[in-house]
Structure 1
């Protein structure tokens, strides 16, 4: 037993010894690994520190004093010297390669000595600028590459700028002149490379008012250099941000990620490059300014903007190169690293810079020329642009550069404002002319409406003196200040077109007009631009017209953009349009704002650019009127004699196959003979129509009453206006006569008014000349005429029309009753009630509503299926329009028409012009 215990103890003791040995080995290995890690970490820290101060300066740098003699330090230096030696042994041709690289990437003024270019005008106007811009040169020790000890090799140093990178410059004490010389040299190289005007420079200095780069004074009087208020950095940042947003929207809509990509793809430079130089003082910018600066920096390069920051301590997003001055001659750059000192180029001769700036300024002024003419807005070739994506056209000039208006998905609708005499009409002509010259009538359709009393757009339709018209115009409406219904009709037409286009888009499974045109190339889908001048008249009353117009306009403003329907609303003052109170949708969609001088409420609140705008100028803003979107443009004279008409005639001759526009002139009564409805009247129609007036619609339609064999198919004219009553009955009778073969219809005309006898007799003669039987009686013969038609009603063998003038004048005679016989009034009631079924219809004129009611008696108004009200108040017409409140106030040259078989409510009509009998 004892032996077993001893053996067991020995085994346990041996196991513990083995475990103790293994633990010792593990702990030793851990101590060795820890020591090695500490040594490696020390080496890495030393290596990082040596690299930060430079290998050549490590021996003397106080930060490394404690490591002198340390084996680790010696090992690090030895290793780094070995790496450098191996690098330079393979870099013998490096300086020459760098020099060749800079020469290739920085051609001409970008990299050549100033004596070769300073004072000469640049000519480069291509799509890709130089990639590098020289600032100085650097040297390296040639002994490291196998050359004799003490020799050096030099190479040019250049930095990227335009389209490539921003630049951050940090000064050293007392180096402001050197910084100015560096910035001035870079800017002069850029300005001397490009054609005058292709680059714009913005200068801001927190510590200066006007003395920023004084040698550029001559350029500061042009658009090439702008010196900004040192207390208003926010204005500069807002301007740059607005430019970035505008360019971003423009390039994205065109399908390009940046302005540079667009230039390279299209081969055209559509925007100047911009360089913004910001001089700080080494202190942090205000938080809001710093935030705005970083936002600008993030999108600037894609929009062709490069920032040059001097002593502005911040970290910008994107590509940024740095230059840190060591003294007034030396610097280090992020392009060459901290171990290579760059000797900055000496300052350009001050006098030569000033002279060069003057030459550039003179060239810019010469290039911009004096005031541009309307002809300068027009392209060299007409009708070459496509409207599939947008409409784009210059409307004026700013310092010689064209200012464009863009109408598309981003800016679908426009609001134009300006007081009387501010040039609003001239602007509209400049816009219409520029658009019409670039887009064919198949690409652009114009609907033009002018509510004010005038003929602003009348010349765009054919006239007596000029037979030409603007081929793009589908509708021209003038003098419609009292015809608000016509504006409503236009909105209804556009709403119907919107539904038609939306249905087509749904059929082809697309979402916008560009895709629809692509999927349906044979369809006719031009962009539609509706211009409504003085549109506030459309909402002048608190009535149904205003309500319906507001709803339609809101819908068009919201949904029209996707289907290529655009609104241009112009007004002297939009401040008082009550219809839009609480409904900002229309104005929110009008992201394009055009403010004429002294315009109010067009631009955003606080944007006072229009207040100071000079005459013949306009503020063009694609950013809903926010100040950073302002573009001031001089608008050339486009509305004077022999200016726009010359263009119009050229376009008319070019597009001769396009139909003339519909002209609606509210100041001119339409002629019956010119009405398409009257021209279309011909014998043989199943249901003849009596035309009573022109409809207030986009298409040239006429109101008419179907004279079918049905109860109530009679026509009553109510009102005391003799001329208009004669016109309505004259048009109705003549139009009916055209729809029957000669002798196939009979007319009987009864005139109760001596003042109308000549006109009625002339009508009877005209009917007879057309081969129709046309009897005429005066007041005394009307009772007998009525009785005769009642007696012949059962023997009727052809349609008959009884046309009565001034029925109320013979009511006493009609009421006279002989014993045992019905009165003529009873006969007339019989004709009104039973005649239409037997193709005998009454067309009568009563000079008052009450007299018509007396004529009808207690039978009600069912026998009058259609009526035309002249100088009659709407409240008097309730009996003839059951269940409705008639909103109607008489106005010259207009009437109210209602046909209960076709109308839900009365409509305004325009009686046709009836020539005086003596005119013949």
Structure 2
């Protein structure tokens, strides 16, 4: 029992000892908790006093109630002791701050207005103040015994954004504060170094009106209150462009690039946004925050007034208390900032005027076309790209770049917007920088005018633009000429691609390096009013669209570039289904009021001033906009002066081919006419081709069946022209005695013209036999019977052939064959024996009667005038012919060479009534 009792005693003692330890631990924990709760209460009271400010804490009932709780007196006493000690140790603080602001805000950034207001700085922007003065602050004398005043300044450019919150009835104070800051910034740097954007949600105008003199220079832009998105898009585009530029140079920001290069490469931008205390729409707010987060590195500072938001990046805050005082994040909530008084209104306006005048003078005033030109002509190389200024923005040149990155250009502008003037500025600037060996121009104007005619030799001026290879004007009705140009470019593209493949390269720059002796200039084809190419739903539109798409897609690598200009791009239906074409036109130029040239949401051209253009190398997206004032390049004696200088400098270059759709070409000036004597087989020239080269449509009079030619239609002048050019071109190839011309005219009105032709043939000593209408049947019978015995060529020129049908169909009694039967023999078998017929039938039906059943093959080639396409199908292998007659044009088809008919231009021929034998 004693043993059991002993064990029980030890257990009880152990439990008592455990109880004592647990009691001590719980007591210590309770005491620690009470101490922690007391410390937490002290810290909360300390936080409340610091937040409210020691001087204002006594008036706060919540703070006063907490201060009366046990143990809280020590907190208040300790804070007063710390504050007193701080100000006792800070006796030199105001002087130190004044010295700091003096160093960080020199000159106009911190000096009184009388020292700088109205003066123009020469600082180019390489020395940038860190702070900008807004007022002063005073340490309360109740704390230190002596009032301590120091300057207050805020960071801005490259350093921080600024958010200002107004108090009731303090808008004039806010305006004065912002105006003070802007004038300090503008007066610190040379004019043009800073650009200001003003936006006020509640005002169309009168936003800081004293600064308005700067608006005529571009240094100040007042934005539409309903178009905040436009401003944000502009800033975002500027940020993207600057970041791309700085990153390419290996720098992280515009400031870093400036420090590395020692130069200010871009102006600063300050965007001042006046709100009304209400939150912006969610989309605008998101865009604003996105801009703010990257703006400082791109040289953009935001000043937000009553725009409640939290911005990314460094932001300083100013909250107004009343008309004179504010709280700044630079000084804390305990110190009140006495804002600098407003600058005198008249002095601000005068200072802004002086800055504007200095900027205009610095920019040289309005620039002229001569300012676009280099000091020496033809010194640039086009292996990699073409680069030339086309205008100026605030004195700085705005360049157009045509190369691999921006291969093709789209230019749009309504009538009178300056589109033609821009084209001349572009052509002149390019031609002055690149020699004809570096740049070849193909110029085509579809509208009824002669915009490019002066670039080819004329009667008044024999000079031409040496870079021009082709000049086409007045071709609004000759869509085929535009198609011919595209075919030429496609052929040149294939030629260059083949050469690049042979040299195992992929682009023009490498090809020129591998083939330095080859002739590989960059080609720029300018097509003004190009929408005419797609005016109809026909084969021309289909082929032009296909060719243009191919050239636009593949031309960049081989140095072939398109410049497409139009007054009304919105009307080009054929293009909207071909995005590949517009996607390749990354260079967009929009004249004032132009639409759908830039991207759908980019309306910069709508508000562009007259004589300006919006140049955009980023497919029309708004961030790529560059506004350019385009100098006068198209008035009398402006461009011609440059052209004559270039012509004298590069006089050895051949003159360009001029195609004028309003002028009938001359047979004697056709290149094919000059080459005729070199051919071994006789050929006739029917008319001029609608093509890049000065060629003619020809018909070879070979000794094979069907090599006869017919002119179809009632258009007398055009018919006489074709008959005349056929005869004269044929006579050019024979020596006298080798050919006999048999001429029969059955149209009285044409007799003077026929006699004139016979006279010309006789002068060239060719044998000419005229046949009277009544004698035609007998003569045809005679010629048919002599086919196998004649040893010379015979050509029958038959005018108004259908008029001979009654006589040809008549048969004398007892005669088996009529004159028509012999005529058909001559048509069928004559070519093989050297007898060819060139006839003019005024009606398709009468030609069918002449040929008889299944006789269409005996007419191997024809030219149709005022004949509808549906009538020509039997003479065109049964295919559907799309042709509507037009004055001065003919449809030509040669069954041995053509897959489909082609349009030709008859050579010039005088009215038959004006011709006298």
Would you say the 8 A contact 2:67–2:76 is kept in 1?
no
Measured against aligned partners, the alpha-carbon deviations of 1:675-712 in whole angstroms (never above 9, x if no partner) come to 222223343x4555432221111233321123445443
- Say which SS state the counterpart of residue 306 (structure 1) adopts: strand
Q: Distance in 1 between matches of 2:46 and 2:467?
A: 73
Measured against aligned partners, the alpha-carbon deviations of 1:148-185 in whole angstroms (never above 9, x if no partner) come to x9999999765443344322234567866664444233
Is 1:125 the equivalent of 2:129? no
Q: Distance in 1 between matches of 2:103 and 2:703?
A: 93
Aligned pairs for 1:799-838 within 5 A: 800-806=793-799, 807-811=801-805, 825-837=820-832
User: Which residue number in structure 2 is paired with residue 747 of structure 1?
Assistant: 739
**Residues 821 and 331 of structure 1: is their aligned pair in 2 closer, same or farther, counting only changes over 3 Å?**
same
User: Which residue number in structure 2 is paired with residue 566 of structure 1?
Assistant: 562
Is 1:543 the equivalent of 2:538? yes
Corresponding residue to 1:470 among 460, 465, 468: 465
Q: Distance in 2 between matches of 1:405 and 1:351?
A: 42
User: Which residue number in structure 1 is paired with residue 291 of structure 2?
Assistant: 296
Corresponding residue to 1:758 among 755, 759, 767: 755
Q: Distance in 1 between matches of 2:117 and 2:894?
A: 84
- Say which SS state the counterpart of residue 868 (structure 1) adopts: strand
**Residues 885 and 280 of structure 1: is their aligned pair in 2 closer, same or farther, counting only changes over 3 Å?**
closer
- Say which SS state the counterpart of residue 717 (structure 1) adopts: strand
Aligned pairs for 1:325-344 within 5 A: none
Is 1:908 the equivalent of 2:900? no
The worse-fitting range, judged by mean Cα deviation, of 553-562 and 504-513 is 504-513
Q: Distance in 2 between matches of 1:68 and 1:498?
A: 95
**Residues 864 and 339 of structure 1: is their aligned pair in 2 closer, same or farther, counting only changes over 3 Å?**
same
**Residues 331 and 834 of structure 1: is their aligned pair in 2 closer, same or farther, counting only changes over 3 Å?**
same
Corresponding residue to 2:230 among 238, 253, 257: 238
User: Which residue number in structure 2 is paired with residue 200 of structure 1?
Assistant: 195
Q: Distance in 2 between matches of 1:518 and 1:240?
A: 45
Is 1:418 the equivalent of 2:414? yes
**Residues 443 and 73 of structure 1: is their aligned pair in 2 closer, same or farther, counting only changes over 3 Å?**
farther
Would you say the 8 A contact 2:233–2:622 is kept in 1?
no
Would you say the 8 A contact 2:164–2:305 is kept in 1?
yes
Q: CA deviation at 1:867?
A: 1.7
Measured against aligned partners, the alpha-carbon deviations of 1:775-811 in whole angstroms (never above 9, x if no partner) come to 433237766765666566556767x352423244545
Q: CA deviation at 1:487?
A: 2.3
Would you say the 8 A contact 1:415–1:590 is kept in 2?
no
Q: Distance in 2 between matches of 1:578 and 1:325?
A: 58
- When normalised by structure 2's length, the TM-score is 0.77
**Residues 862 and 260 of structure 1: is their aligned pair in 2 closer, same or farther, counting only changes over 3 Å?**
farther
Q: CA deviation at 1:403?
A: 6.8
Would you say the 8 A contact 2:588–2:597 is kept in 1?
no
Aligned pairs for 1:61-80 within 5 A: 62=63, 65=67
Measured against aligned partners, the alpha-carbon deviations of 1:74-120 in whole angstroms (never above 9, x if no partner) come to 99999999x999xx99x999999988886676554335554442221
Measured against aligned partners, the alpha-carbon deviations of 1:714-756 in whole angstroms (never above 9, x if no partner) come to 333333444433433443344445556x46x822211111444
Corresponding residue to 2:871 among 852, 876, 894: 876
- Say which SS state the counterpart of residue 694 (structure 1) adopts: strand
**Residues 358 and 886 of structure 1: is their aligned pair in 2 closer, same or farther, counting only changes over 3 Å?**
closer
Measured against aligned partners, the alpha-carbon deviations of 1:375-398 in whole angstroms (never above 9, x if no partner) come to 455455555667645655334778
Q: Distance in 1 between matches of 2:130 and 2:467?
A: 46
User: Which residue number in structure 2 is paired with residue 893 of structure 1?
Assistant: 888
Would you say the 8 A contact 1:717–1:868 is kept in 2?
yes
Aligned pairs for 1:842-857 within 5 A: 842-857=837-852
Corresponding residue to 2:687 among 678, 690, 693: 693
**Residues 814 and 314 of structure 1: is their aligned pair in 2 closer, same or farther, counting only changes over 3 Å?**
same
Would you say the 8 A contact 1:488–1:538 is kept in 2?
yes
Q: Distance in 2 between matches of 1:505 and 1:307?
A: 52
- Say which SS state the counterpart of residue 703 (structure 1) adopts: strand
Aligned pairs for 1:383-394 within 5 A: 388=384, 391=387, 393-394=389-390
Q: How many pairs align?
A: 890
User: Which residue number in structure 2 is paired with residue 731 of structure 1?
Assistant: 725
User: Which residue number in structure 1 is paired with residue 700 of structure 2?
Assistant: 706
**Residues 313 and 455 of structure 1: is their aligned pair in 2 closer, same or farther, counting only changes over 3 Å?**
same
Would you say the 8 A contact 2:238–2:623 is kept in 1?
no
Give the CA RMSD over aligned residues: 5.8
User: Which residue number in structure 2 is paired with residue 679 of structure 1?
Assistant: 674
- Say which SS state the counterpart of residue 752 (structure 1) adopts: strand
Aligned pairs for 1:143-162 within 5 A: 158-162=153-157
- Say which SS state the counterpart of residue 710 (structure 2) adopts: strand
Q: Distance in 1 between matches of 2:303 and 2:794?
A: 89
User: Which residue number in structure 1 is paired with residue 300 of structure 2?
Assistant: 305
Q: Distance in 2 between matches of 1:396 and 1:868?
A: 53
Q: Distance in 1 between matches of 2:739 and 2:260?
A: 75
**Residues 77 and 433 of structure 1: is their aligned pair in 2 closer, same or farther, counting only changes over 3 Å?**
same
Aligned pairs for 1:250-329 within 5 A: 252=244, 255=248, 272-301=267-296, 304-323=299-318
Corresponding residue to 1:858 among 853, 867, 877: 853
Q: Distance in 1 between matches of 2:29 and 2:516?
A: 81
Q: CA deviation at 1:909?
A: 0.8
Q: Distance in 1 between matches of 2:703 and 2:441?
A: 43
Would you say the 8 A contact 2:447–2:475 is kept in 1?
yes
Q: Distance in 2 between matches of 1:155 and 1:527?
A: 66
Q: Distance in 2 between matches of 1:559 and 1:337?
A: 63
- When normalised by structure 1's length, the TM-score is 0.77
Q: Distance in 1 between matches of 2:330 and 2:401?
A: 41
**Residues 159 and 708 of structure 1: is their aligned pair in 2 closer, same or farther, counting only changes over 3 Å?**
farther
**Residues 487 and 259 of structure 1: is their aligned pair in 2 closer, same or farther, counting only changes over 3 Å?**
farther
Would you say the 8 A contact 1:239–1:628 is kept in 2?
no
- Say which SS state the counterpart of residue 885 (structure 2) adopts: coil
User: Which residue number in structure 2 is paired with residue 3 of structure 1?
Assistant: none
**Residues 292 and 898 of structure 1: is their aligned pair in 2 closer, same or farther, counting only changes over 3 Å?**
same
**Residues 459 and 66 of structure 1: is their aligned pair in 2 closer, same or farther, counting only changes over 3 Å?**
farther
